[in-house]
Structure 1
Amino acid sequence: MSTSAQCTKCSRVATLSQCSRCKSAKYCSTECQRTDWPSHRPQCRPPSIQGIVIGCNNDRYGGTFRPIDIQPTHPIHSAGQVSPVSRVVGLPIIIYRHTHADDGGTELDNLIATHLMIDPTDGYAPLDWQRAVGTVTVKREDGQPLSPEAIETIWMYNDHLLNLFGDGRTPHVTRDRFRKYCKKYKEERLLNGYDSFRDMPVPL
Structure 2
Amino acid sequence: MMSNLFSTFDPSSSILNISLNWSSTLLGLAFFPLAFWAMPSRWILTWSLVMNTLHKEFKILLGPKNFSGTILFVSLFSLIVFNNFLGLLPYVFTSTSHLAMTLSLALPLWVSFMMFGWFNHTQHMLAHLVPMSTPGPLMPFMVLIEMISNFIRPGTLAVRLAANMIAGHLLLTLLGNTGPSLSMSLLSILIISQILLLLLESAVAVIQSYVFAILSTLYASEVN
- What range is the shorter-chain TM-score in? under 0.3
TM-score when scaled to structure 2?
0.24
Tell which has more relative contact order, 1 or 2 (C-alpha 8 A, sep 6+): 2
TM-score when scaled to structure 1?
0.26
Q: Comparing both structures, which one devotes a greater share of its residues to strand?
A: 1
Q: Comparing both structures, which one devotes a greater share of its residues to helix?
A: 2
